[in-house]
């Protein structure tokens, strides 16, 4: 299972989603008896900087693999180095535009899901 964390910040998800280390999933007929907890195996953070590094640290402490996305100009940044996997997005775009290039982010998420059924 892959959890994507994007735009984490004030008023956002924060580390709450990561801290629980599992996702609550509902079956077709949602009732209290049909609730199922499945462990989070991998988290993709579509962000950069200090927030991404904090999410990666929390995931590492919980034994969850991490995935970073980065722009060409962010190749040497710490968030890329702290992640277990890193993928280039928004090729030839400026950094801000690269992180807002949704088709590339979705493509990376699909690649991560294929490698982690």
Name residue 86's beta-bridge partners: 68
pLDDT in tens, 58-89: 999 999 999 999 999 999 899 999 999 999 99
The CA distance from 95 to 73, in Å, is 6
The residues, any chain, with a CB within 8 Å of residue 72's CB and separated by 6 or more, are 88, 90, 91, 92, 93, 98
CATH of the domain at 70: 3.40.50.20
State pTM to two decimals.
0.69
Torsion of CA 68, 74, 76, 79, to 10 degrees: -30
The structural domain count of the chain equals: 1
**Tokens for 88?**
């280039």
pLDDT in tens, 10-37: 444 444 444 445 555 555 555 666 677 7
Could you tell me the residue range of the domain that residue 69 belongs to? Answer: 2-115
39 with 18: CB under 8 angstroms? no
């Amino acid at each position: 299972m892959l959890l994507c964390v994007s735009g984490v910040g004030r008023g956002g998800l924060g580390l709450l989603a990561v801290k629980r280390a599992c996702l609550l999933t509902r079956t077709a007929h949602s009732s209290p008896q049909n609730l199922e907890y499945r462990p989070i195996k991998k988290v993709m953070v579509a962000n950069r900087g200090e927030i991404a590094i904090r999410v990666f640290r929390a995931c590492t402490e919980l034994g969850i693999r991490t995935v970073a996305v980065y722009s060409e100009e962010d190749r040497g940044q710490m968030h890329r180095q702290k992640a277990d996997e890193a993928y280039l997005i928004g090729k030839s775009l400026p950094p801000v535009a690269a992180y807002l290039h949704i088709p590339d982010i979705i493509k990376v998420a699909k690649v991560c899901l294929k490698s982690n059924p």
